[in-house]
Amino acid sequence: MTSSTKQPVCIVTGGSLGIGAAICQLFAKKGYQVFNLDLQAPMQAHSAVVWQECDVANVAQVKSIIASIGNKHSKIDCLVSNAGVHLSANIEQTSEDVLDQMFAINVKGAYAAIQGVLPSMVEHKSGSIILMASDQALIAKQNSFAYNLTKSALASMAKTTALDYAKHNIRANAVCPGTIETPLYHKAIDSYLEKSGRDSDEVHAEEAALQPLGRLGQPDEVAQLCYFLASEHAEFITGSLQVIDGGYTAQ
């Protein structure tokens, strides 16, 4: 949290489910005024989390909403650009329209959010920008052409933004989760089970066994890492890729 006497402000994109929801709840509990930019309403309400219906693929809409937040609250302390979609497909199976949609949400959504918060952060000479990348920003996985491409782009965005805005005391980092037990994870597994006819318990056990620590990650664990990166304890950390994957990419 900032040392300012005013309540710090955190903007989270895609904060209604899974990792995003955990981030919103944790930052709110830690004293932030949180704004959740998401098309879907959150399942769990919190008095310090304001939901703003927003299509993150719409650059103008994202920037307009963030500008209104900045005008009302003067200072934006933190951005967690978390909104994103997953696609299981190789390059031949990925149509141009689908690729454009993936980039619009995963990459241009982050681009718009960063552009939106920078005027306030530059003015106040402080701010933490956190991009939700993936372990796939470091490694490749099968049938993950477009997703891998977009998450690698976010890692690059964190590094270049860190260098360009270090002179303004603005930090930018990318969080790179591995397999985290979220609604999206369960949706992907359910889809696989429907196609394969396999036993649910066996498939979940296999996923856990792929991780050196022998289990899946939890949204709250990713949220804690984001909160650390936003805090005064991480003031010398910028331009980094923070892996939280149970050791998967160390193999």
Domain assignments of the chain as residue spans, ordered by start: 9-180+218-246, 182-216
Q: How many CA atoms lie within 13 A of 37 on its CB side?
A: 31
Task: Say which of 32, 147, 227, 248 is annotated catalytic.
Answer: 147
Give the residue carrying structure tokens 């977009």: 150
Pick the CATH number of 9-180+218-246 from 3.40.50.11540, 3.30.70.20, 3.40.50.720, 3.20.20.70: 3.40.50.720
**Under 8 Å between Cβ of 36 and 28:** no
pLDDT tens digits in sequence order for the chain, 251 residues long = 443 458 999 999 999 999 999 999 999 999 999 999 999 999 888 899 999 999 999 999 999 999 999 999 989 999 999 999 999 899 999 999 999 999 999 999 999 999 999 999 999 999 999 999 999 999 999 999 999 999 999 999 999 999 999 999 999 999 999 999 998 889 888 888 888 999 999 999 999 999 999 999 999 999 999 999 999 999 999 999 999 999 999 99
Distance CA 182, CA 179 (A): 9
147 counts as catalytic: yes
Distance CA 225, CA 157 (A): 19
pLDDT the model gives residue 229: 98
Kindly list the distances between the CA atom of residue 200 and the CA atoms of 81, 183, 208, in Å, as whole numbers in the listed order: 32, 15, 13
Q: Nearest-5° angle of CA 85, CA 170, CA 113?
A: 30
Residues in the chain: 251
pLDDT the model gives residue 2: 40
